[in-house]
């Protein structure tokens, strides 16, 4: 997948879409060699790469820096970058400056959280020729309003609201919608009602695709591991073992050897 219309094609063909996050060139190079379909430069960079407790610390400058690094190394993969906290809530000119910073850094699409109150901004970005991915459910930039990282859409009223938001994002021209941390049945309902592909994270198996934070998938400790994460590698243990082997080799004068030394 290397173009925005591939999202619609995958849904039409009933093919699932796999997305992972990346924030730097070396990991983007590994993802680029894999079968994973697309890369999200998520504002989770603030937590995973910078040790912040939430995504609220991400800025346009930070996201542009991570996007540049990923885009340089992500040959052949579609790159989406997150518009960070409040960057699209200060009016259209400010939102377009943020979009411009991400696109000139190499993003082929932007993602933004929520819909209520910024419909005009979404329409303007789409109308400017920049593909927009929506994001509903547990939108982490609203963590303070939610009172924590909690499953959304559990009661009928909230579920109906999320269905309405998905339709609104589709009508505004979003090419895809991330649904985060909602009951699987609700995500399935939204997926069957909207024509654009839905990408789930903690939203069950019925969505048109899935997205995971790369470091969670690789088994690196990022502070907390939500229930929806599946670890495909024991990254923390493997890397710690490698460091300890190096440490032992240094201390027991087994590193460097003749082959790692100049004569």
Q: Which residues are catalytic?
A: 180
| Peptide bond between residue 256 and the one before it cis (omega within 30 degrees of 0) | yes
Cβ of residue 10: shortest distance to ligand KIV, in angstroms?
A: 18
Token duo for residue 224 = 């907390």
Counts of helices then strands in the chain (DSSP H, E): 11, 8
For residue 158, give the nearest of 182, 142, 174 by alpha carbon: 182
219: left (phi over 0), alpha (psi -120 to 50) or beta: left
* C-beta of 37 vs 43, nearer to ligand KIV: 43
**Is 78 within 8 Å of 1 (Cβ atoms)?**
yes
Distance in angstroms (rounded) separating the CA atoms of residues 11 and 17:
8
CB of 149 to ligand KIV, least distance (A): 12
Residue pair 120/88 in contact by the 8 Å Cβ criterion:
no
* Contact predicate 25/66, CB 8 Å: no
The footprint of ligand KIV (CB under 6 A) covers: 21, 40, 42-44, 55, 82, 178, 180, 201, 211, 213
Smallest gap, in angstroms, from Cβ of residue 42 to ligand KIV?
2
Of 86 and 254, the one with the shorter C-beta distance to ligand KIV is 86
Whose CA is closest to 209, among 17, 2, 3, 4?
17
Closest CB to ligand KIV: residue number = 42
> What is the smallest separation between the CB atom of 261 and ligand KIV, expressed in angstroms?
43
């Amino acid at each position: 997948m290397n173009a925005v219309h591939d999202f619609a094609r995958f849904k039409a063909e009933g093919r699932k879409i796999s997305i992972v996050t990346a924030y730097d060139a070396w990991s983007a190079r590994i993802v680029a060699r894999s079968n994973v379909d697309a890369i999200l430069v998520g504002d989770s960079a603030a937590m995973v790469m910078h040790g912040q407790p939430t995504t609220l610390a991400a800025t346009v400058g930070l996201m542009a820096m991570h996007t540049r690094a990923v885009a340089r190394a992500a040959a052949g993969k579609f790159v989406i970058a997150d518009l960070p906290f409040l960057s699209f809530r200060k009016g259209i000119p400010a939102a377009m400056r943020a979009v411009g910073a991400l696109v000139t850094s190499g993003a082929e699409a932007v993602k933004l959280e929520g819909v209520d109150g910024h419909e005009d901004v979404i329409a303007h970005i789409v109308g400017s020729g920049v593909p927009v991915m929506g994001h509903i459910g547990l939108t982490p930039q609203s963590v303070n309003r939610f009172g924590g990282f909690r499953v959304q859409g559990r009661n009928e009223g909230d579920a109906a609201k999320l269905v309405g938001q998905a339709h609104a994002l589709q009508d505004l021209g979003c090419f895809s919608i991330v649904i985060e941390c909602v009951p699987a049945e609700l995500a399935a309902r939204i997926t069957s009602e909207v024509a654009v592909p839905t990408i789930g994270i903690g939203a069950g198996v019925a969505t048109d695709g899935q997205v995971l934070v790369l470091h969670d998938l690789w088994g690196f400790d990022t502070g907390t591991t939500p229930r929806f994460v599946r670890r495909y590698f024991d990254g923390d243990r493997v890397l710690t073992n490698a460091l300890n082997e190096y440490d032992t080799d240094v201390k027991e004068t087994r590193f460097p050897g003749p082959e790692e030394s100049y004569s």
